[in-house]
Amino acid sequence: MDRNAERLVVVCSIHSHRVVTTVVHLHPGGSEEAIAHKAVECPWAELSDKSRREALGESVRLAAESAGVEVHSLFISRSDPSFASRPEVGWVDYGEEVVIDAGQREWALRKAREKATAADSEVIDALPVRWTVRGNAGAEREVEDPVGETGRQLTCHALVITARRGYRAELAALARTFGWELDGVIAQPVALYRGMASSLFKAGTTIVLDCGGRHTTVLVRVKQQLLHLATHEFGGDDLTRRIGEALDLGQEDAEKLKRQVDIGSIGNAPQLAGQQVIWADLQAQDLHRQRAARIAHEAVTTFFSDLARELRESGHLGQKGHVHLVGRAAGLAGMPKVVHEIFELPVILGTGDKQRNPGDEMDNLLNLGQIRVAAQARRDHLLTQGASLVHRAGGLWAWLVQRFE
């Protein structure tokens, strides 16, 4: 393959039910091209360490063979319930007015990123939310991108993304079992946001709820600025488990039953207490659906009511805005109605494309976002370092791991 190794990026995304690897070529003009995309279906959470390595290795091998490259390093993206965020500020005073370059922009972002964090957490990413530049006259102005601006002080208002301590080391160790270096980790909520940001409303408050199999992530954007991100340990698999336990069903039967229920019908269902009901006339399957719907409705309502209360108390949920529902569990019948009643905001499935299943659309948005995050990280490195990367037999060169380990 006659593509420069410095412009090849490999991204491996680990999900609850599959492992996906994408090989990307970065064009000099600023666009990206996915030249290979391979998935291996597997119940990741249920696998042994050996089986996880086999699934990861098979996904990367298939993508590498398809792209005609030898992998030496890669980005890894994996969800985790410990993802959280906090606002931070980093600033640099140059002493006199200068023309700000990419390296100086990176330094201000790094100052925000390197603020002290709790002993049990580590910084995964830092997203610039707002840039301000101050000149000799003392006036401070907000700019979209500080590169090329003239000023004596640059301030970066950033959203710092954290995870439990050891998260990065686990992924680095997983990569090293194959002899790969870890280019960096990509928080899946950040990738999702990057993938769908252009489809969100420009004005007002937008809440994105990613309802996955094992985790639910909430993103809050106000006036095109991401202000809050958090992942919670609750998802569609929890509904399956609760239905199975209550109705004494196996995992497969409970999952099938969950997909048949409409949790939006529970609130308006007639109350049967005190009425004569001829249960013999009801088929057992219909009775199971009713009970399963109530179980799922109770779990979903409890979780999202607590989440909405937390967002209101923190000032992230107002009376105007929109909620976007994405992810596998977002396709559960009645979910939009329940979320609307709790958040009291209009609810949109996915990006609003009625022709697409929100779960399938989620896969595309996440993959697009992961490509964008990895591509930006690589380009930022090339720009700020200004040095040629070493070619490795048509493969990739690890460059980011030294900065973060």
Calculate mean pLDDT across residues 211-224: 91
For residue 196, tell me if it sits in a domain.
no
Q: Are residues 64 and 13 in the same domain?
A: yes
For residue 98, tell me if it sits in a domain.
yes
For residue 137, tell me if it sits in a domain.
yes
CATH of residue 134's domain is 3.30.1490.110
Query: Final residue of a domain: which of 164, 187, 217?
Result: 164
For residue 26, tell me if it sits in a domain.
yes
Q: Are residues 263 and 126 in the same domain?
A: no
Q: Are residues 338 and 219 in the same domain?
A: yes
How many domains in the chain? Answer: 3
- Give residue 120's pLDDT band: very low, low, confident or very high (50, 70, 90): very high
Beta strands in 100-143 (DSSP E): 121-134, 140-143
- Give residue 285's pLDDT band: very low, low, confident or very high (50, 70, 90): low
**295-317 pLDDT per residue, tens:** 999 999 999 999 999 999 999 98
At residue 318, the pLDDT reads 82
Q: Do 376 and 184 meet the contact criterion of CB atoms below 8 Å apart?
A: no
pLDDT at 272 over 50: no
β-strand pairing of 181-186 with 73-78: parallel
Look at 139-153, 196-210, 262-276 and tell me which has the smallest mean pLDDT.
262-276
**318-344 pLDDT per residue, tens:** 888 999 999 888 888 999 999 999 999
For residue 399, tell me if it sits in a domain.
yes
Q: Are residues 245 and 128 in the same domain?
A: no
At residue 12, the pLDDT reads 97
Is the pLDDT higher at 223 or at 111? 111
pLDDT at 360 over 80: no
pLDDT at 266 over 90: no
Calculate mean pLDDT across residues 191-197: 93
Q: Are residues 71 and 128 in the same domain?
A: no
For residue 58, tell me if it sits in a domain.
yes
Calculate mean pLDDT across residues 12-18: 91
**56-90 pLDDT per residue, tens:** 999 999 999 999 999 999 999 998 999 999 999 99
At residue 283, the pLDDT reads 55
CATH of residue 241's domain is 3.30.420.40
Q: Are residues 344 and 368 in the same domain?
A: no
Expressed as residue numbers, the domain containing 148 is: 84-164
pLDDT at 273 over 70: no
Residues 6 or more apart whose Cβ sits within 8 Å of residue 254: 240, 241, 243, 244, 247, 292
pLDDT at 235 over 60: yes
- 395 phi/psi in degrees, rounded to 5: -105, -145
- Give residue 181's pLDDT band: very low, low, confident or very high (50, 70, 90): very high
Q: Are residues 129 and 240 in the same domain?
A: no
| Mean pLDDT, all residues of the chain | 86
User: How far is CA 173 from each of CA 180, 199, 228, 286, rounded to the nearest angstrom?
Assistant: 9, 36, 29, 49
Task: State the pTM of this model.
Answer: 0.84
Is the pLDDT higher at 16 or at 122? 122
Q: Are residues 367 and 299 in the same domain?
A: no
Q: Are residues 274 and 381 in the same domain?
A: no
Q: Are residues 271 and 335 in the same domain?
A: yes
Which candidate, 233, 126, 122, places its Cα nearest to that of 167? 122
Q: Are residues 137 and 112 in the same domain?
A: yes
Q: Do 190 and 260 meet the contact criterion of CB atoms below 8 Å apart?
A: no
Is the pLDDT higher at 153 or at 118? 153
- Give residue 111's pLDDT band: very low, low, confident or very high (50, 70, 90): very high
Query: Final residue of a domain: which of 104, 137, 164?
Result: 164
For residue 52, tell me if it sits in a domain.
yes
For residue 343, tell me if it sits in a domain.
yes
pLDDT at 395 over 80: no
Is the pLDDT higher at 123 or at 17? 123
Calculate mean pLDDT across residues 215-239: 93
Q: Are residues 272 and 383 in the same domain?
A: no
